[in-house]
Amino acid sequence: MSARLPCGNCGVAIRPEYWNDPEGTMCDGCSEPVLAVAFPAWGHQTAVALPEGVAAEGESSCFHHPASRAVMACESCGRFLCALCDMDLDGRHLCPGCLERGVNDKAPGLDDRRVLYDSMALHLATWPMLMFYMIIFTAPAAVYLAIRHWNTPTSILPRTRARLWIALVLASLQMLAIASLVIFLIWFVPTFGSGGKK
């Protein structure tokens, strides 16, 4: 990737002489006002440490690269790692295998997505009320989701269980209404029928 700060409209690079200018400038590409802020890290590439060879016999070597000197042990599995295999993640040192496992297992700080079952349950409990006959299917589904995922970790952001509670209450009321309707029909429809015959 070339070292440049692009205009958000057209992608054309903003001239360096206008960087950090509080007034900004006009883009060369789209002639719209642009503002570019460059920080001290600009232009620095991520440092890649190269592994060193094992100097003396008896020195620890990397689990993945036996010819390379170990500089760190994985904090998760304890395997010795060379500079190339050492993955520094916010102060934690992990091997590539543990890092990948952590991403897949959604370890805190590594997860890149989460499913919001509470929102799903709430939507199932509210939207179908516009077409009331849909609640025959959606109310049980909302109750199931709310109970099944009561303890499933939701967003990593601050979030209460209010959605689950509301979904559960609404869906329960809907199921109660369905049950009442069914009982009403069973109880009264034959009566009306027999009344007509009499």
Partner 1 sequence: MADVPYSPLTRKRRTFSGSSQIWSGGDHLLLVVTNWWVQKYHRFRLREIQGITVARRPGFLPLQIVLLVVSALLLAAAMWATASTAGRVAWGVLSAPVIFAQIVDITRGPRARVILRTAVSEVRLPAISRLRAAREFLRQVEPAIRAAQSDIAPLTAPPAPGAFSLPPPAIPADRLPKAMLYTLLGSAFLGSAGSLFAIAKNLTGPLAAELWTIALLALASGIYAVVTVSKPLLRVLAVLLVAAILVDMGVTVWAWAAMISERRATLAMPPWFVRYAWVAHPAQMLVAAIGGALAWRDHRRASDKLKGRS
Decide whether 156 or 177 has the Cβ nearer to partner 1. Answer: 156
Which is closer to partner 1, CB of 157 or CB of 186?
157
- Cβ atoms of 41 and 59 within 8 Å: the answer is no
Cβ atoms of 137 and 174 within 8 Å: the answer is: no
Q: Which of 45, 3, 2, 40 is nearest to 20 (CA)?
A: 40
Residues found near partner 1 in the complex (CB under 8 A): 1-16, 19, 24, 27-30, 32-46, 90, 108-109, 111-117, 119-120, 123, 155-158
For partner 1, the closer of residues 62 and 87 by Cβ is 87
CB of 118 to partner 1, least distance (A): 9
Smallest distance, partner 1 to C-beta of residue 103, A: 12
- Per-residue burial over 136-150, b if 16 or more Cβ lie within 10 Å, else e, is eebbebbbebbeebe
Q: How far is the CB of 173 from partner 1 (least distance, A)?
A: 22
Tokens of 53: 């060879």
